[in-house]
Amino acid sequence: MKLLLYGSTGFLATKIIRQALSNPSITSLIAIGRRPLPTPDFPDIDTTKLESFVVDFDSPTPYDSDPVLQQHIKTADACIWTIAITPAHMNSVPWEQVERVCHDYTVEFVRYLVGVNEKLLGGKDKFRFVYVSGHNAARPKEKKPFILGEYCMLRGKTESEVLELLKGGEVCVARPGIIEGGGKETGLFKGMFFWMIGLPNVRVEEVAGAVLEGVMKGFGEVEGKGKEKRGKDGDGGWLWRNEDLVRIGEGVVGKRMREKTTSVMV
């Protein structure tokens, strides 16, 4: 499988890269981001199937300048999109930039994708796409949340447009809560605040494991699959909330640990 990963230098993407490179089902990993990807230092992991590209998403034609990247997008089997400005960082940038990164970058790429990708243009197998959204995202027909209302509506708007554009593919919207692990832990007081406003937590390796399992096997086929097959406003696709990601991710990570233990014992 050739997998596109957008947002290659982020916290979640780093864990996805590590797991993808360790998985023989991923034969080609194309990492795309706004900044150069440092050379991964993963012991005992083959990094030769990794290619990275830097894209200027604010360019009028961000994908036309590199024919190699164009070919990868054309022949890819799946994509995981992690690019966003999180609530923790949104106060440090203008709201217009939050809209640009969280909505425009995503939708502009998907519009490009549906016009060039071989699977989306009528291939035998369906193209699989994961959009990593936010826990309290709200679709256009839903009530605006009291906390971070405009931000949650923006993420929900992006979800709906991605689902509409990718009707010819297989789409999963992932809505994690607070992603922890890998040295990034929520402190006591911050954790209490997140609990008070209803934000659950999930381990980064669980989110990475769940979304990778989905793009490899199909979202409806993985063990412990998400409960909803339709978005609340009628958009097609899978909706994996935090509890789904925990359940699926725990199963995937646990299975890999058991396999690793068995191979060591043998």
Ordered by start, the domain boundaries in the chain are 2-265
Residue type, 127: F
pLDDT in tens, 109-150: 999 999 999 999 987 889 999 999 999 999 998 999 888 999
Token representation of residue 31: 């990492």
Provide DSSP, 185-240: ---HHHHHHHHHTT--EEEHHHHHHHHHHHHHH-TTTSTT--SEEE-TTS-EEEEE
Is pLDDT at 205 greater than 70 in this prediction?
Answer: yes
End-to-end CA distance of the chain: 28
Overall average pLDDT of the 231-244 stretch: 76
Tokens 């050379």 locate to 39
Q: How many Å apart are CA 244 and CA 173, to the nearest integer?
A: 11
One CATH from 3.40.50.150, 3.40.50.12280, 3.40.1160.10, 3.40.50.720 for 2-265: 3.40.50.720
Close Cβ partners of 4 (under 8 Å, ≥ 6 residues apart): 30, 32, 72, 73, 76, 78, 79, 80
Mention every residue, 6+ apart, whose C-beta is less than 8 A from residue 234. Answer: none
In angstroms, the Cα distances linking 146 to 92, 140, 150, 151, 200 are 21, 15, 9, 11, 17
pLDDT-wise least confident of 2-6, 20-24, 36-40? 36-40
Least confident of 17-26, 67-76, 188-197, 214-223: 188-197
Task: List helix spans (H) across 60-144.
Answer: 67-75, 95-99, 105-116
DSSP 1-34: -EEEEESTTSHHHHHHHHHHHH-TT--EEEEEES
Q: pTM of the predicted model, to two decimals?
A: 0.89
Of the pLDDT bands very low, low, confident and very high (cuts 50, 70, 90), residue 183 is low
